[in-house]
Chain A
Amino acid sequence: MTEIKENNVCQTGEWVTENRFRRSWAKLKRNKAALVGGVLILVYVLSAFFAPVLFPGNPSAPNLINSLETPTFKDPLGTDELGRSILGRIIYGSRISLLIAVGVVSVGIILGIPLGLVSGYYGGKIDFGIQRVTDTMLAFPGFLLALALVAVLGVGLKNTVISIGISMVPMYIRLVRGCVLSVREEDYVEAARAVGTRDVIILFRHILPNVMVPITVQTSLSMGMAILFAAGLGFLGIGVQPPTPEWGTMLGSARSYLFHAPHVATFPGIAIFLAVLSFNLLGDGLRDALDPRFKI
């Protein structure tokens, strides 16, 4: 009599999760667009790290003799109105932009996840309160909210990060809450509750892992958005202040010279564009790899 082959798919919970990560990673690697995005981000990160090596000297030091020069061999992207190398400023600018991206998303996550978890899991008055506040914040388009916050807090790098970060919080809250609401109804959560597991454990062991998937996707997209917003604020002159080489601020200063030195405005913009594009590519790839069901 032949042996009955045991179905080996659902042995233990851990095994299934491990399998899922490996599958997702394989899927992500196959996605060429995501790969391009990832590589580009790596380029930015590396240039941020090795900025002093790639471009020795102070990128913000004015050198008026060379003002507004078109691209040459010495300054591959030309110089700006104060004679500074645009390439150098763009390289240093990647530090600023990455810092902003990470900072903004950190604010969003640190505030958004706990609030979303609590709001979704406990419901009731807490949920109502948090939701009304979120609604109010969402009554303003994201950029305007950040703008308003900047008007209150003031300009500069720190305030830019805080303002944009806070304007992203409602979206994280909504995302986490939505996820919690659907997971909360799953049988395994009810089972855990039925055997008396404490809420905190349930939140961390069962709900949080599920929440991580859409959060990861959204984080990549949010980083791109943060860079866009920061650049917008910089362009308007109320974000990162000169002489700090933030790409948007550079564009803002370049505006006066648009007609006779358009290259000053072109290159920082391309830097922004490629950075945001890479985060979007990665975010899309993550979404496809991790779970096509978790659509945002």
Chain B
Amino acid sequence: MSAHTKPLLEIKDLHTRFHTLDGAVKAVDGIDFEVYPGETLGLVGESGCGKSVTALSILQLLPCPPAEIQGRIFFEGKNLLDLGKEEVRKIRGNDISMIFQEPMTSLNPVLRIGEQISEAAKIHKDMTRREAWRWAVEMLRMVQIPGPGSRSRQYPHKFSGGMRQRAMIAMALSCNPRLILADEPTTALDVTIQAQIMTLLQGLKDDFKTAIVLITHDLGVIAEMASRVVVMYAGKVVEEAPIKELFKDPRHPYTQGLLGSIPVIGRKERTGRRLQEIPGIVPGPLETPLGCRFHPRCHKVINRCCDQEPPMIQLAEHRRVSCWLEA
């Protein structure tokens, strides 16, 4: 997309805090990024870096005592955090919808699949019950579930994991949203099913012309589907790049570590390097290091990193890095 296209979603200075008995936990500590119409943006990071919380913050699905969301989230120009509850409700499932990680538990076990898929269409698109049900069957057909008519009358426990995720995708697409937040859509599935779901998602995205924020820790999945990537660590954005550049020339040591830790058969023979690891583990929510959050695990750390947080450095359009080495 060119610099002249307006972003569909603009997140500016988002902070999401959870107030717990042990203090305030900052799950998302000042991030920003943009999503353009029709693109697939990858949001990458390990467990605990705040990517799921970001998605939930966009749709305001976090219970707001313990949680507190600050910042600005612009969707088609309007700040979602300024809207009243009714207006947010109208956007959910309609303009922005979400796919969740665990298909086993994300579907209601006592309602039929067809009912769950048709619900959103009924209220957002003002369809009658019959119309909405027919539309649900159509959606099931589009996500390639065989025998969609009879399947729609079944309950979730009759569906396999892959089928449930397809049903979730059908649910998310039912009102033709302009943006889908896909939170680890394939993590809970078997590898072979993963590939099927990713292909399906890619195809549907092209058909429906939806933008997707693809949240995952799996770089393979990102490589397949995303056009741009945002890398998160410990609640902050550390790098952003178009997909090819990220894989060819990662600038942040964390991204380098992530890429280096992908097992590649034959790498040792070709390059003489063994599988790299990033030592240590992700800091817990109450143990945020001073200075650059990644410095305790960084193999290129310098003195400055230990007590000053690095600024975000713009390297090119849609290319930035938060690291003292680039300053």
Range for the number of chain B residues in contact with chain A: 10 to 19
Is A4 an interface residue, CB under 8 A from the partner?
A: yes
B residues contacting A by CB (< 8 A) are: 21, 279-281, 284, 295-297, 301, 306
Range for the number of chain A residues in contact with chain B: under 10
CA A3 – CA B289 in complex, angstroms? 12
The 4 closest A-B pairs by CB, nearest first: A4-B280, A4-B279, A5-B296, A7-B281
Closest partner residue, chain B, to A8 (CB atom): B287
Is A1 an interface residue, CB under 8 A from the partner?
A: yes
Chain A: interface secondary structure? loop
Is A2 an interface residue, CB under 8 A from the partner?
A: yes
Are A5 and B301 neighbours in the complex by a CB distance under 8 Å? no
Closest partner residue, chain A, to B306 (CB atom): A2
Closest partner residue, chain B, to A26 (CB atom): B21
Are B280 and A2 neighbours in the complex by a CB distance under 8 Å? no
Instruction: Kindly provide the distance from the CB of A32 to the nearest chain B CB, expressed in whole angstroms.
Output: 15
Contact indicator per residue, chain A 1-33, by CB within 8 Å of chain B (1) or not (0): 111110101000000000000000001000000
Q: What total count of A-B pairs have CB within 8 Å?
A: 16
Instruction: Kindly provide the distance from the CB of B10 to the nearest chain A CB, expressed in whole angstroms.
Output: 36
Closest partner residue, chain B, to A30 (CB atom): B21
CA A9 – CA B284 in complex, angstroms? 10
Most buried by B among A1, A2, A4: A2
CA A1 – CA B279 in complex, angstroms? 13
Are A5 and B280 neighbours in the complex by a CB distance under 8 Å? yes
- On chain B, the residues within 8 Å of A1 by CB distance are 301
- On chain B, the residues within 8 Å of A9 by CB distance are 284
Give 14 pairs: A residue, B residue, CB < 8 Å, sorted on A. A1-B301, A2-B295, A2-B296, A2-B301, A2-B306, A4-B279, A4-B280, A4-B296, A4-B297, A5-B280, A7-B280, A7-B281, A9-B284, A27-B21
- On chain B, the residues within 8 Å of A2 by CB distance are 295-296, 301, 306
Instruction: Kindly provide the distance from the CB of A217 to the nearest chain B CB, expressed in whole angstroms.
Output: 20
Closest partner residue, chain A, to B298 (CB atom): A2
- On chain A, the residues within 8 Å of B306 by CB distance are 2
CA A4 – CA B289 in complex, angstroms? 12
- On chain A, the residues within 8 Å of B301 by CB distance are 1-2
Instruction: Kindly provide the distance from the CB of B48 to the nearest chain A CB, expressed in whole angstroms.
Output: 13
Contact indicator per residue, chain A 212-247, by CB within 8 Å of chain B (1) or not (0): 000000000000000000000000000000000000
- On chain A, the residues within 8 Å of B280 by CB distance are 4-5, 7
CA A108 – CA B299 in complex, angstroms? 60
Closest partner residue, chain A, to B21 (CB atom): A27
Instruction: Kindly provide the distance from the CB of A15 to the nearest chain B CB, expressed in whole angstroms.
Output: 16
Instruction: Kindly provide the distance from the CB of B291 to the nearest chain A CB, expressed in whole angstroms.
Output: 10
Closest partner residue, chain B, to A1 (CB atom): B301
- On chain A, the residues within 8 Å of B281 by CB distance are 7
Instruction: Kindly provide the distance from the CB of B21 to the nearest chain A CB, expressed in whole angstroms.
Output: 8
CA A1 – CA B295 in complex, angstroms? 10
- On chain A, the residues within 8 Å of B21 by CB distance are 27
- On chain B, the residues within 8 Å of A7 by CB distance are 280-281
Instruction: Kindly provide the distance from the CB of B20 to the nearest chain A CB, expressed in whole angstroms.
Output: 12
Instruction: Kindly provide the distance from the CB of A294 to the nearest chain B CB, expressed in whole angstroms.
Output: 19
CA A3 – CA B298 in complex, angstroms? 10
Instruction: Kindly provide the distance from the CB of B299 to the nearest chain A CB, expressed in whole angstroms.
Output: 8
Contact indicator per residue, chain A 127-145, by CB within 8 Å of chain B (1) or not (0): 0000000000000000000
CA A4 – CA B283 in complex, angstroms? 11
CA A3 – CA B279 in complex, angstroms? 11
